[in-house]
Structure 1
Amino acid sequence: MKLLKDIIYGVRIEEVVGSTNIAIEYVAYDSRKVGKFTMFVALKGTQVDGHEFIDKAIALGAVSIVCEELPAEIKEGVTYVKAVNSSTALGIIAANFHDHPSEGIKLIGVTGTNGKTTSVTLLYDLFRLFGEKVGLISTVVNKIHNEEVESTHTTPNVLDLNELLSRMVERGCKYCFMEVSSHAVHQHRVHGVKFSGAVFTNISRDHLDYHGTFDAYIAAKKGFFDMLPADAFALVNADQTHAETMVQDTKAKVHTYSVTSPSEFKTKVIENSFQGLHLMIDNMDTHMKLIGDFNAYNATVAYAVAVLLKKDKLEVLAALTRLEPPAGRFQQYASETGITAIVDYAHTPDALENVLKTIKNIRKGNEMVITVVGCGGDRDKGKRPVMAEIATRLSDQVVLTSDNPRTEDPDLIIEDMKEGVAAENTPKVLAITSRREAINTACALAHGGDILLIAGKGHEDYQILGTEKVHFDDYEIVTETLKKLNK
C-alpha cells in the first residue's frame, strides 16, 4: 500500500481533483482487474480507449483515476489526476509503485527485426552457466531465475514489466535480458525503466501494418536508444546501414560488433555446417552448436554483452561452446531415412532469406530444399509477395500455406503471396491451406538427404484461426509425420 502522492511523483500533471493523501493498494490499466483501493490508468490504445471504462472502474472500487481528459461527471470520493500523457504516466507510476526495480538489477534490452529472442536466450543461458541468478523476458517465455512465467507479448506492458522486475529483484537476480519491440517503444511500454545496456541487432521490413512506413519503424527502434542514461552502453551491429542512426542521439557509451565490417567486437566465420559454427571471435577460436551466419551475429552479441558486463573473455568463450539454440530457431530433426527437417521462426523477408541462404551454403550436393511457408493475417500485407519470392527463388519446392490467419481468409493471404512468384518458378509451387496438410505433403515429397524448412511459427505451439487459439506445433507435426513415413 502506498500513498497516491508518492505514486504520481514525477508524472507530468495538468490538474488534480481530490486528495492525493489516499492509500492505493493496486494499479490497473484494465478495468476488469480493478478492485477496492485501486488506481485506474485510462490509456488511449490503438483499438480501445480506457477513458470509456472510467465509470466501470469506479463502480468496481477505483479510488483514483489517471486520465488525459477529465470525465464530465466528477464522482465524490474519487481523486482524478489529469496527466499530459497517460501512457508515459503509467511508466512512472509503475516504477514508483514497485520501488524502481530496474535500478536494482542490470537490465539489458535487445531490439531489432531479427535475432532478439536468440540473443536474450543465449545471454540468459550464458549467465546461468556463470552461476548467476538471471531473469529473461522474451517472446517465447519469461523467467525469474529458474521459474517460468508465461509470455503473452514480446515486451510486456510497463506495469507488468515492473512487477516482473520487482519479483526478479526479490529473488536475488543480478541481471535481466529482455527483448524490446518497436511496438513497446512507441507505446511507452518501457517508459520510466532504467536500462544498463541496449543492443541493436538489425532492421528490415516488418510491422509496417502498425508503423505505416519503414522510416517510422526505424524511428521507433531509435527511440529506445534515445532514452538510455549516460552510464549505460549501446551495442550496435556495424554491418547494418542504420546502426549509426540508432545511436546518433544517445547519451550511452557506444560500442560496435560485426562479422564483415571493422568493429570493436569482430567475428569471422571459419566454417558453417549442420553440426554448428566454427568462429573466430575477438581473434580467439571457438566452436558453437548454433548454425548459420545470422547466429554468428547472435553469438557475438552474447560475447560482447558479457564482456561489457565485466565477464572474463576466455571464460565467456568457453561457456559459449556449451550453449544450445533456442526452441524454434533453426531447430533440427534428422529422420531415419536421412531427411533433415528444420523448424524456424523466420516470419520476415530478411529472416527467411537468411535461413534459406544458410541452408544453401551448407547443403552438400543434390539435396532438394522444400520450404513450407505462410504469412500472418491482420498484419503487413506488403511482405506477403516478398516472402513468396524469396521462398521460391531459394528453394526447389515450395508449399504456400496458412500461418496465423487470424480474422483474414487464409486462401486470400496465399493469393497475396502468389503475386510474388516469378513465372519460371510457378511449377515448383503448391498451395495448401491446411498447415498440417502442407507439412505432411512436404514430408511426402522429401527423400533421403533432402532438407525440409518449416518457416514462420518456430516455437509457437498454437495457431490463431479467427479469434480462437488452437494447439499447433510445427516441430511436433513434422517429426511425427517423418516417423510415420519411416515405418
Structure 2
Amino acid sequence: MALTLRSAARLLDEHHLLREIIAGDLWTLDAARVDGCDEPFAGITYDTRTVAAGSLLCCKGRFKAEYLDGIDGRGLAAYVADADFSSVTKAPGLIVTDARKAMSLLAAEFFGRPQDELTVIGITGTKGKTTTAYFTQAILNALSGGRCALFSSVDNCLDGHTYAESDLTTPESLDAFRMMREAASNGMQYLVMEVSSQAYKVDRVYGLTFDVAAFLNISPDHISPIEHPTFEDYLYCKRQIVANAKTLVYGKGMAHADLILEDAARHGVPASSFALSDQAPLSPDASAAGMPSADRADTVVWPADDAHDAFRIASDGVDLGEVRLALDGDFNYLNAAAAVAIARAAGVLHDAADDASAAALRAMEPVRIAGRMERFVDPHSGTVAIVDYAHNYASVTALIDYVNERYGSRNPRITLVTGSAGNKAYDRRREIVEAAQHRIDRLVLTHEDTDTESVEAICRDMRSHVTDPHLDAAIILDRTQAIEDTVEEARAHARCDDGRLDVILVIGKGEERWIKVLNKHVPYEGDDRVVARMFGLNGD
C-alpha cells in the first residue's frame, strides 16, 4: 500500500511518536483535515538536495530551518520533524517526538516492508563482524543458489555477487530499507548485515526485527563524547539487538554472556552458542556435551592439525567436517564457527553432515576481505607484512597472538605501523599502545582518519602512553612514508642476519583508498598497495 500523509500519521500515532500535524494555520491530529492527505508520496529522503515533486522529507539530526529555503518551489509534499517549520514552508509537517525513529518506520512502509520478504540476519560485537558477515553470506549463497545480500562496513551487495564500497557499518535507516527493497526485487532471500552500536544509538534499525541476531563478543571500544560516554552505554546499545530478534547466537566465552542470556530470557528469545576449543571434543561423535566445560557450546571449532592450518567444526553433536580458510588466524576460524551457528539458527544448515553441509563449509574457504589479514612476503628479505583493519585493544591483541602462534619459533622482530581516529574513540589511542607495547620491537605512529584533529597531536597522545623503556617508538606523520621507511628498515635488519624474522603489521586502514581529513576523503594509495609496491609484488 502506498504511503500517504494519512497512513504516515496513523503509523506514527500507533508508535506514540506523533505530536501533531501542522499545515499553515491548522494544527490537528486528524490527517483527514489536510488537503491531499491521501495522495501517495512520490519519494522519501533526508537530503533537501534531492527533494522533488511529491517528496516526503525527513528532517533528522541537527536540521536547520534555512535548509528549507526555496523548498516549496521543488514540490515538497510534506516533512517529518521534531520542530515546526511552517514559517519557511507551506508543506504540512508531521511533528514527532523523535525524527530518526519516525524516519525508520516511514522508510520501511514507503518501500513496502522489504524486510518481510527476506530472512534478515544482524551481526554485532566489538570485533569479527565483517568477517563473520562474509562467511555467513558465503554459506547462505551456497545453500540458496546465490540469493544472499550483504550490508557490511566494507561493501554492500544487493544481488548476491556484485559488491560496492559502503559508507557506514550500518546504513541510515532510509538507505537500509531502500537497499532491502532492491535486494528483494533482485530475488534475494537472505540479508546479512553488520549492526553497530551506533545503529541503535541513533535509531538506524529502529522497528527492525532480526530473524537471527548474532552477538560475537564485547570489549571496550567507541568510548568518546560523540559516540558512547561509557562502556556501559556501548554495551547497552549493542544489547538492544537481543530484544529485537527472533533467535540469538552468541559467543560462549564472551564477556557479559550471562547478561546477554538474561536479555534473551526476558524477551523470550531462544539462544545457541559457539566457541573455539584448543582440542578435539572428548566424545567420538563430537558431541557438544563431550567438550571440556569451558568450551561446551552448540557449535564448536577446533584445530585439525598442530599447525592450525585447518580446523574441524561440530554443531549439535555432529562433526560437519574440515575447513581450511584463506584468512589466517584462529580468530577467523571462530568467526567461521559463528557463521555456521547463524546458518543453523536460520534453519538452512541442518543436522546431518551431508553434501550440502560440506559444500557450505567449503564456500567459506576462498573468502578474502580486502584489508583483513592480507599477508605479503618480501622476496628480497623474507620480511612478512600483514595489512589488517585492527583498530582497538581486542583486535590488536588477536593479531599479535596470531603472529606469535605462526612465527614464534623464528623469534619475530615485530614493527607495528598505526595511527588512531580523530574526534572519536579516544580510548583506542591508549588501548592500541597497551595491547602492543610489551609484545613488539618497534612502534611507528602515523596518520589515520584524523578528521579535524591534528595528526601530530594524536600521535603524540599515543606515544605518551608508551611505558616500555625498551620499545623503539617513532612518529612519521605521512602514512605512505611511514610504511616505506618501515620496509627499508626491516630490509636493513634482515641483512644483519641475526636469525630473527621481520614482521610488519600495518593496521587501521586496510585497503581504503582515502584518509579522512577535515570531513573530506583525501585520496590515499592504500596500505596494501604501498606494501605490495615496496615488495615488488603485483598490487592487489
Q: TM > 0.5 between the two?
A: yes
After superposition, the C-alpha distances for 1:116-142 in whole angstroms (9 at most, x for unaligned) are 110111111222233231101001110
State the match for 2:371 in structure 1. Answer: 328
Report 1:37-436 matches (<5 A). 37-43=54-60, 45=61, 48-49=62-63, 53-71=67-85, 73=87, 75-76=89-90, 78-130=91-143, 131-144=145-158, 145-209=160-224, 210-228=227-245, 232-247=246-261, 248=263, 249-259=266-276, 260-271=294-305, 273=307, 276-282=309-315, 284=319, 285-289=321-325, 290-309=327-346, 310-312=348-350, 314=353, 315-321=356-362, 322-337=365-380, 338-363=382-407, 364-426=409-471, 428-436=472-480
Question: Equivalents in 1 of 2:475, 2:111: separation in Å?
Answer: 51
Identify which range, 381-390 or 168-177, moves more after superposition.
381-390
Contact map agreement 2:114 2:184 (CA 8 A) in 1: yes
Instruction: Give the deviation of 1:8 after TM superposition.
Output: 4.1
CA displacement 1:73-121 (0-9 Å, x = unmatched): 3854x22212222111111101110110001000101011111110111
CA contact (8 A) 1:371 1:453 kept: yes
User: After superposition, what is the alpha-carbon deviation per residue over 1:431-468, rounded to whole angstroms, capped at 9, x for unaligned?
Assistant: 21111111111111224642211111113221123333
Could you say which residue in structure 1 is the equivalent of 2:530? 477
* Partner Cα distance (2:509, 2:536) in 1: 21
Q: 2:21 aligns with which of 16, 38, 44?
A: 16
| 1:24/1:39 contact within 8 Å kept | yes
Shift of 1:311: 1.7
Q: Which secondary structure state, in structure 1, belongs to the residue aligned with residue 484 of structure 2?
A: helix
1:357-379, CA deviations, whole angstroms, 9 ceiling, x for partnerless residues? 11112213223222111111112
Aligned-pair identity in percent equals: 25
Structure 1 residue runs of 5 or longer lacking an equivalent are: none
Task: Check whether the contact 1:6–1:96 (CA below 8 A) recurs between aligned residues.
Answer: no
Provide the secondary structure at the position in 2 that maps to 1:479: helix
Q: Is the 8 A contact 1:125 1:323 kept in 2?
A: no
Q: Would you say the 8 A contact 2:3–2:109 is kept in 1?
A: no
- What is the Cα deviation at residue 52 of structure 1? 5.3
Aligned AA (2:41): I
CA deviations on 1:304-334 (whole Å, 9 max, x unpaired) are 1112222235333443243323221111112
Q: Separation in 2 of the partners of 1:73 and 1:410? A: 43
Which deviates more, 386-395 or 196-205? Answer: 386-395
TM-score by length of 1: 0.92
Report SS of the residue matched to 1:424. Answer: coil
Counterpart of 1:468 in structure 2 is 520
Distance 1:340 1:320 in 2: 29
Q: Please say if residues 272 and 293 of structure 1, whose CA atoms lie closer than 8 Å, have aligned partners that are also in contact.
A: no
Structure 1's 52 and 110: CA in aligned 2 closer, same or farther, altered over 3 A? Answer: farther
Give the paired residue count. Answer: 475
SS, match of residue 369 in structure 2:
coil
Structure 1 runs (4+) greater than 6 angstroms displaced: none
1:188-237 residue CA offsets vs partner (Å, 9 max, x unmatched): 11112232111011111211121111000001101122222xxx211111
Question: SS state of the match for residue 206, structure 1?
Answer: coil
User: Counterparts of 1:340 and 1:418 in 2: how far apart (Å)?
Assistant: 25
Partner of 1:113, secondary structure, is coil
Q: Distance in 1 between matches of 2:109 and 2:328?
A: 43
Give the whole-Å Cα distance in 1 for the aligned partners of 2:370 and 2:97: 42
Q: Is the 8 A contact 2:68 2:89 kept in 1?
A: no
* 435, 438, 461: which one aligns with 2:482: 438
Aligned residues of 2:22 and 2:84 also touching (Cα < 8 A): no
Higher mean alpha-carbon deviation, 169-178 vs 199-208, is at 199-208
Deviation digits for residues 11-37 of structure 1, max 9, x if unmatched? 132212342223310111121221111
2:46 pairs with one of 25, 29, 52 = 29
Partner-residue secondary structure (3-state), 1:342: strand
Return closer, same or farther for 1:297/1:32 CA change in 2, 3 Å cut-off.
Answer: same
Give, as a single letter, the amino acid of the residue that structure 2 aligns with 1:278: F
1:398 Cα deviation after fit: 1.9
Q: Which moved more, 1:376-385 or 1:91-100?
A: 376-385
TM-score, normalization by structure 2: 0.83
Change (3 A) 1:423 1:146: closer
CA 1:61/1:71 → structure 2, altered by over 3 Å: closer, same or farther?
same
RMSD between superposed Cα atoms in Å = 2.1
Structure 1: distance between partners of 2:375 and 2:411: 19
After TM superposition, list the pairs within 5 Å mapping 1:442-461 onto structure 2: 442-447=486-491, 449-461=501-513
Letter in 1 for 2:54: F
CA change 1:272–1:111 in 2 (3 A) is: farther
User: Which has the larger displacement, 407-416 or 443-452?
Assistant: 443-452
CA distance in 1, matches of 2:274, 2:232: 23
Contact 1:443–1:481 (CA under 8 A) maintained in structure 2: yes
CA contact (8 A) 1:122 1:323 kept: no
SS in 1 for 2:176: helix
Which structure has the larger Rg over C-alpha atoms? 2
Moved more, 334-343 or 179-188: 334-343
User: Alpha-carbon deviation of 1:2?
Assistant: 4.0
Contact persistence 1:51–1:67 (CA under 8 A):
no
Q: CA deviation at 1:72?
A: 5.6
Kept in 1, the 8 Å contact 2:85–2:93? The answer is: no
